[in-house]
Chains A and B, each alone.
Chain A
C-alpha cells in the first residue's frame, strides 16, 4: 500500500514538473511586425526653396519658414519646401546642381547662378544694409585697420560677398595685404564670425548688418562688448532666382506673393523678422555692380570665379 502511494506521489510530481517547465517556454517571435514599403500617398509637386546660409539651419527655418508656409497656403496646388544648407559650399553645390527650384543666394551666388540656368527675378530691399561691417572687441585696442596686421580675422565663408569679400576689399584698400598681413579664418556662418571676435579667438570679425542687428537684439550684453569698427560700401542686396525650367506662371505667382508681403500686416511681420522692409523685383542687369566688384576683387585681393 505504501509503495502504491509512493508511486502515485512520484507520478503526480513528474506530470507537474513537465507541465510547469513546458509553461515556462515562451512564444517565439514568429509574428514580429515588419514595415512594408509603398508609394507616397500625397502626389503633389514639390519645389525646393533654398536660402543661402544667412543663419544656421534652425534659425533660417524660424525666419523663412513662415514666408514659405504663407506661399504654400496661397499656392496650394503645389508644395514649396524650404531647405537649409549647412554652409555656403553645400548651398552652392546644390544651387549649381540645380537642386533648388527657387533660391535666395547672395549677390555673388546670384550672379553665378545665372550661369547654371537660373534667372534673377527679385531681391531683398534695403540695399543700404548690404555692406560689410568689421567688429572688434571694445577692449581690443585696435583703432586702425593696420592694427590688424599679424592678427586673425574671422569671416563666414570665403564666398560670402558682404561679410567676406567686401571687408577683405576694404582691408585691401586700407593698407592691408589680406593674404599676407592677416590670418583669414572662414568660420562657417555669420553668428560664428561674431562669436569668434567676441570670444577673442580673432582680433576682428567680419559680417554684415542683418545678422549683427539680430545678434544685438538677442544678446544685448554680449553685443555691448563689441563695436562696429568699419563699414564697407554697399552693393545690391541678396537676390531671388528661379530655375529656368519652372513654369513662368508659377514663378510669377511666387514673385508676386514675395513682393507684396510688405503690403499686409501679416507680411510685414514676416519681413520684420529678416529684418528687411520688403522684397522687390530685379533682373540679371540689376546685379551688374556686383559683377564689377567681383572683377575688382578677383584682380586685387584674391582670385575668384565670377
Chain B
C-alpha cells in the first residue's frame, strides 16, 4: 500500500510532539527563536552584502573614471610611459586585479600587469567591450570580482578605454566574519531560549505530571498524595481547584452513599411493595411489604424472568404485561421521566390474584418497581359500577314515566288552551251582543234616567266580564309561553299621559288625587312593548286607585343608572297597606286580600303584571306596611329610542259617528255572520250611517251574494256552519272582482296570532269581538275611505251638574252643618272629612262636591247649603 511519505513524516512528528507538553513547548520556542534569529541574520547579511558589493562596484567605476581622466593626454600623445605612470598609482589600490588602458582597437597601451602591455585580449568579455557603446560599462559583476570599463574621451572623440577589475575578496571576507558572528549569536540566543523554554516547560509539566498522577489515583479510587503546591501560577490554581473538586466528589460520594442507605432503609420499611432489578434482570432486593403481599421469597424469584413466569402464569396475559411494561420502561428511559403506572393482575404465591398498579423509577442501571395494591379499589369500583347501572336503569324508568306525564300534561295544557279559546269565543260572542245592544240602547234619547243607569250596570258588568275573560286568557297565554313581546320604539311619555289622564278621571271619581312626579331624566321615547307596559301601568295604578279610599296615588317616574340604565316606576298609594306576610301572596294567581266589595277583580292582575315585568327583563317589588300605604316599584331595563323612530299612531276619534259625509259613492256592505245577535248589531251599525248592506248566514251564502251583489266590503265572521269565513274568503278572492273587494274578519278568537292566518287566507283586516262601534267605523274609513260625520265630544255629565239645595237635601242636618263649618274654616282636611261622609248618602253628590271643592268653588257649595240651613 502506498504511504504518502510527507503524511507519514507529519504523523510521526505529531506523534513525537503530541506526547508531551514539555516537548511541544521546548521545541516550539527553540524552533521559533532559531527561525526568527536566522531570518533576521540572513536579511541583515543580504543587505550588508548588497551594500558592500555596490560599494565595490562604485569604487571600481570611480577608479576607472579617474584613470580615464588622467589618461586622456597620454593616450592622445600615445605616451605609454606616461600612461604607465598614471596606472602605477592605481596598482596600489586594494583588491585590484588589474587596470589597463586600451586603444579603440583593443591594444593594451598600459597595464598594471606588464605582461598585458602591447597585447590584445582575446576572451569574450574583452572582445564584447570593443563593440559596446561609448559609456561606462560593467563587464562582470560576480561574487568574487567586479570588472568595469570607462571610455577615454577627448571632447567627443573616444580614444580608448580604461578597464579596471577588482576582486571582492575583502568584502567577502567581511561578510564571512559578519555571518560567523551572527550565527554564533543566533546559536547562543537559540540555545539560551531553548534552555529557558525547556526549564519553564519542565517546571510547568512537573506540576502537571503530579496532577495527572493524582487524577489517575483518584480515578482508580486509590489514596493520592496531596502534594502541597504553593505555586501561584495557573498550575497552582489548577492543583487547588483539582483538590477542591476531588474533595467535592468525595463528599458527594459519601453523601450519595448515605442517601442510598437511607433510601434502602426507606424502601425496606415502605408499606407498599417495592423491588429493585438490575440491568441484567437480576432481582437485587425487595422489601418486606413485597413478601407480605405476594408471598414470594428471594429464592422463588431470583431473576425477573422468574417473576414474569410466576406472577403472570397465563401466557397471553404475560405477553401483554411484558409488552406494556417494556414500552413504559423505554418511554421512561427516553424521556427521563418515571415509568408510567399501569394496572396488572399479579398472581401471588398462594394463588390469589391481586390488582396492582405498577410504576417505577429508572435509577442509573437499576430499576425500582413500585406496586400499589388496588384490589380493594377495584372491588369498590365494581360495586359502584353495579350501583350506577342500577341507578341508570331507575333514571331511565323515571324518565320514561316523566315523559309520559309530560306528554299527558302537554295534552292537557293543549286541551286547556283549546278550551280557553273555545270558551273565549263562546263567551265573547254573547258578550258582544250584550254590550253592543246595551250601548245602542244607551244612545236612545227617550230612555229614562233609571233605564240608563240599568244599562250602565249591564255595560259595566259586561266590561268586568270581558276583563275577567281577557285576564284569564292572558294568564293562560303566559303559562303556555305564547306571549310575545314587541320591541319597537314608542312614546312612553305620551302613553303615561294617556294612562294618567284616563285614571285621573277614575281617581277624581273617588275623590282621590293622582299625582305624577316625573324626574327630568325620565326618557320620553323608548324601545319596548307599549301595550304590555300600558297594561302594567294601568294594573298598578288602577289597583292603587281601587284600594285607596282616602288621600291619593302618586306615580313616581325616574331613572336608575347602572351598567345599563333602568327606568323606575313607583306607584305609591295612601291605601290600607299590605301586611308583610301577604306581600308575596298578592302576586299569586287568584289570591285576593280582604273584602274587595264591588271592586272584586279576577285576582290575576298583579300576577299578570309581574309576569309581564319579568318578561320585559325587569322586576317588581313592594314596600308596604299596614295602615301606611303601599309602594309598588317596577324596575325595567331602559332602551332609549329617538323621536324620529316613533310612528305616531293615528289618534282615534272617540267622538261618536252620527252619519256619512255627503257626496260619497253608495257603498255596498255584506255581512256574513251566523249568529243572529251579531247580524243585528252590525246591521244596526250600518243602518245608523245609512250604508246599504245585506246579510249572509254562512260562508257559502256569502259567496253567492258576492257573485250577485258585488259588495265593496265584507264583514266576515270566522266560524260559521256550512262554510267558514276563511274558505269563503279564498273562494271570493278567486272570483271576478274578488281581488278588489275588501274583506274584514270579525272574530271572537282570543288569540292575536290568528290574525296572521286570517290575513294569509286573503283578508284585508281584522276586528275582534267584542268591538267598539268606532272600531267598525274606523275600519270602514281605513279600507274604503268612507268619511263620517262625528258628534262633538260631550262634556262629562258632572261638569254640567249645577249644585242645588234639593240635591243636598238627602244629607242629614248635622253633616250639612259640619260641611258648612268646614268650608268656612277653609281647613282642607276638615272639608275632605266632611265630603267623605257624603258618599254614604249619595256618591254622585259627593263627586260633585269634591269637584267643586277641588276647584275651590266653596261659594257655590255654601250657596246651595243656604236654603237647607
Contacts and interface: CB of A to CB of B under 8 A. Distances in A.
A46 B106 CA distance: 14
A35 B123 contact: yes
A84 B77 contact: yes
Interface string B674-707: 0000000000000000000000000000000000
A83 B194 contact: no
Interface string B162-205: 00010101001001100110010011000100100010001000
A263 interface: no
Interface stretch (B142-150, B368-376, B446-454, B588-596): B142-150
Contacts of A40: 105-107, 120
B22 interface: yes
A299 B20 CA distance: 115
Interface string A42-58: 10001010000000111
Interface in A57-85: 57-58, 60-62, 65, 83-85
Most central of A24, A25, A35, A37 by chain B CB within 10 Å: A35
Nearest to A5: B23
Interface string B36-78: 0010000000000000000000000000000000001110111
Contacts of A26: 172, 175-176, 179
B462 interface: no
Contacts of B107: 40
Interface stretch (B153-161, B483-491, B636-644, B764-772): B153-161
B121 A36 contact: yes
A219 interface: no
B504 to A, nearest CB: 129
A84 B172 CA distance: 44
B121 A58 contact: no
B154 A58 contact: yes
B300 interface: no
A46 B157 CA distance: 18
B167 A29 contact: yes
A112 B155 CA distance: 32
A57 B72 contact: yes
Contact of B155 (A2, A32, A36, A58): A58
Interface residues of A, number: 38
B82 interface: yes
Contacts of B79: 86, 90
Contact of A20 (B120, B165, B186): B186
Contacts of B179: 24, 26
Contacts of B125: 33, 35
Nearest to B42: A23
A38 interface: yes
Given A16-B34, A20-B186, A33 B142 contact: yes
A222 B175 CA distance: 56
Contact of B73 (A37, A38, A57): A57
Interface string A5-18: 10001000100110
Contact of A37 (B78, B119, B154): B119
A42 B76 CA distance: 20
A79 to B, nearest CB: 9
A99 B73 CA distance: 18
Interface residues of B, number: 55
Contact of A9 (B116, B159, B198): B198
Contacts of B461: none
Interface in B102-127: 105-107, 115-116, 119-123, 125-127
Given A20-B186, A32-B145, A65 B154 contact: yes
B522 to A, nearest CB: 112
B143 A27 contact: yes
A291 B20 CA distance: 112
Contacts of A16: 34, 187
Interface in B424-482: none
Given A20-B186, A24-B183, A37 B120 contact: yes
B26 interface: yes
A20 B183 contact: yes
Contacts of A35: 98, 116, 121, 123, 125-126, 165
Contacts of B155: 58, 61-62, 65
A218 interface: no
Nearest to A30: B144
Given A57-B72, A83-B76, A13 B121 contact: no
Contact of A90 (B77, B98, B127, B140): B77
A24 to B, nearest CB: 5
A4 to B, nearest CB: 11
A41 B76 contact: no
B183 A57 contact: no
Contacts of A61: 76, 154-155, 157, 159
A272 to B, nearest CB: 16
A58 B75 CA distance: 10
Given A35-B126, A57-B72, A24 B176 contact: yes
Nearest to A23: B183
A25 B176 CA distance: 7
A39 interface: yes
A107 B760 CA distance: 173
Contacts of B172: 26
Contacts of A39: 120, 122
Contacts of B72: 57-58
Contacts of A13: 191, 194
A217 interface: no
B176 A38 contact: no
Nearest to B186: A20
B78 A21 contact: no
B73 A56 contact: yes
A85 B77 contact: yes
A52 B187 CA distance: 72
A84 B82 CA distance: 13
A61 to B, nearest CB: 4
A86 B22 contact: no
A46 B105 CA distance: 11
A42 B73 contact: no
B194 A86 contact: no
A56 B125 CA distance: 34
Nearest to B103: A81
Contact of B121 (A9, A25, A37, A90): A37
Given A2-B202, A35-B123, 7 more contacts: A33-B140, A37-B122, A38-B120, A48-B78, A86-B77, A86-B82, A90-B77
8 contacts: A5-B20, A5-B22, A26-B176, A32-B144, A33-B140, A61-B157, A83-B76, A90-B79
Interface of B: 20, 22-23, 26, 34, 38, 72-74, 76-79, 82, 97-98, 105-107, 115-116, 119-123, 125-127, 130, 140, 142-145, 147, 154-155, 157, 159, 165, 167, 169, 172, 175-176, 179-180, 183, 186-187, 191, 194, 198, 202
Interface of A: 2, 5, 9, 13, 16-17, 20-21, 24-27, 29, 31-33, 35-42, 46, 48, 56-58, 60-62, 65, 83-86, 90
